[in-house]
Each structure stands twice: as C-alpha cells, then as structure tokens.
Amino acid sequence: ESAEITRHAVALARQKLGDEHPLTLDARYYQATDLFREGRYIEAASILEDVWTTQCRVAGESHERTAQTLAALGYAWFKLGRYADAEAHLRQSMDIHRQNPTGSRMNLMWSLRQLAGTLSGQGKFDQARPFAEELLELRRQDAEKPDADAHALNSYAWELLTVGSQDLRDPAGALKFALLGAERSADSYHYNRYTIALAYESLGQLHMGLEYARRALAHTPLANSSEREDYEAAFVRMLEHAGDPVAAEEVYRDTLIARRELFSHDHPDVAAGLFNLGHLLTEHGKHA
C-alpha cells in the first residue's frame, strides 16, 4: 500500500512541481527505498542515480540530502554485488556527513552501517571495524535512553547481532535489548520479533528462536517482501537444526498455497515460492 501511494505521489510531484523540486526528489528517494523492501535493487539504483545527479545540480554535492541518496545508492550496489562502487559511494556519503556535524543522526548511522557492511563483505575487516564501533556507540546511546522506543532498542540489538567484526557481536546483549523492544511494541513490529529469533538461535535456544520466528513470519506480507524471504529462511534453518525437516518443508508449502490463492499462476511471488520449496526438497533428496 505504501509503495502504491508513493508511486502516486511521485507522479503528482513530477507533473505539478517538476523533476528538480525538493519534494519530487524526496518522493523518488522513498520510491527507491520501497523497492528495496521488494528486493528490486536494479530499479532502485536507476532511480537513485537520477535523483543523486539532480541533487548535485540543484542542492550541491555536499548537501545532506545528497549524502543520504549516495548512501542508499551504495546500499543498492552492495546488494547487487558491486562492492567497489558501493564502497566509493558510501565513503563519499560519509565525507559529506563529517563536513556537516549538525546533520541527521539517523542518516549518519545509515551510512556507517552500510559502509561497515560493504567493507566486511569484501574481507576488509580492519577498515570496517572503526565504522562498526562508531555505529555501535551511537546505537547504544539511543537504546539506553530511559524513553527509548522499540525501534531504537531493536536497532541496537540488530547491530550487536550482525555487525561485521565478529568479536564486536554480543548475542546475549542483543537479546536483552530486543526483548525490551518487544515489551514496547506489538507483534506487528515483525523486525523486532525476527531479531529476537536470531538472538535465541545464536545462543542455542532453538525452541524460543522458533517461537519468535513464527511470530515474525505471521506479520509479514505474502507479496513483494524481501523480509519474508529472510524470515522464512531463518525459520526453515531452525526447524532443520531442531530435526524437523517435514515442518521445514511445510513453511514453504504454506506460503506457496497462500500465494496461489491470491495471485495468478505466473506471478513473481508464486515463482519465488516454487523455487524456495524446490530448492529445499532438493536438499532433502526429493529430486523428483
């Protein structure tokens, strides 16, 4: 629903305000980030490249919005395996943030996270470490505020679980903050329930991990959701580790049945459901 509204906003903005208006550029930026959630990184990168070029011309190369777009574009390149391009864009984004110390804290943390992840993805762990440490400190400060909301708590927990340098990870600490985030949110905040599931899995508590993975999955959409792909993969992995391959297969069977009821037979999400189930059946030796 968000993606549809954003597409409409982009069309109206381009028609009424023109391609160079700040509101048009903002709408197109959010249109691209909506595409991230659908796993459509090539389309997102195309939009972001155009937005970035326009922002450089209209707002200037050192504007904070330019840095924000650069970071998002770097993330798209990272997801597409173009690590050198991702690193270059993210480093440029960080340089702009350093020149604007009063800029958005959220944008700075986004750039830090993507740069640390890109460097780690290339095996440049020594270079990634200072960015990861800075990110963890900023997240910790937000999470330890007395009035920290579920997002701040979950964000810190997620970094503690996934930060590039293994020795900086702290699954027990992640679980503590993620559970506090759960107290301050409903199950519909599925990102938090997924974080909790992974924390329990990291600590070897599969029973609890499965419970929270199930809760996360129950609140993710059937269509256009890269999060659902991740949640299903984690749920299946935990079920297999728990010695229940049949239940693991049922995760993908249930999704496929539900998608076939909602969509046409040639819908991309039906194809994804077929692939995931087929891949798992192959792993289980059920080749036919």
Query: Is the distance from CB of 111 to CB of 153 less than 8 angstroms?
Result: no
Percent of the chain whose predicted confidence (pLDDT) is above 70:
100
Query: Among 51, 43, 83, 47, which residue's Cα sits nearest to residue 67?
Result: 51
Query: Is the distance from CB of 66 to CB of 60 less than 8 angstroms?
Result: yes
Structure tokens at 112: 């830090």
Q: pTM here?
A: 0.83
> Higher pLDDT residue, 203 or 228?
203
Q: Is residue 149 predicted with pLDDT exceeding 90?
A: yes
DSSP assignment string, 60-110: -TT-HHHHHHHHHHHHHHHHTT-HHHHHHHHHHHHHHHHH-TTS-HHHHHH
Q: Is residue 256 predicted with pLDDT exceeding 80?
A: yes
The whole-number pLDDT of residue 222 equals 81
Query: Is the distance from CB of 153 to CB of 178 less than 8 angstroms?
Result: yes
Query: Among 248, 239, 252, which residue's Cα sits nearest to residue 201?
Result: 239
Q: Is residue 37 predicted with pLDDT exceeding 90?
A: no
Cα end-to-end distance, the chain, whole Å: 38
The whole-number pLDDT of residue 238 equals 97
The whole-number pLDDT of residue 121 equals 86
Across the range 43-53, mean pLDDT stands at 96
Instruction: Name the strand (E) or helix (H) holding 158.
Output: helix 150-162
Name the pLDDT band for 128 (thresholds 50, 70, 90): very high
The whole-number pLDDT of residue 32 equals 95
Structure tokens at 109: 């943390």
Q: Is residue 103 predicted with pLDDT exceeding 80?
A: no
Query: Among 106, 77, 100, which residue's Cα sits nearest to residue 89?
Result: 77
Diameter over CA atoms, the chain? 60
Q: Is residue 97 predicted with pLDDT exceeding 90?
A: no
For 217-246, write each residue's pLDDT tens digit: 999 888 777 788 899 999 999 999 999 999
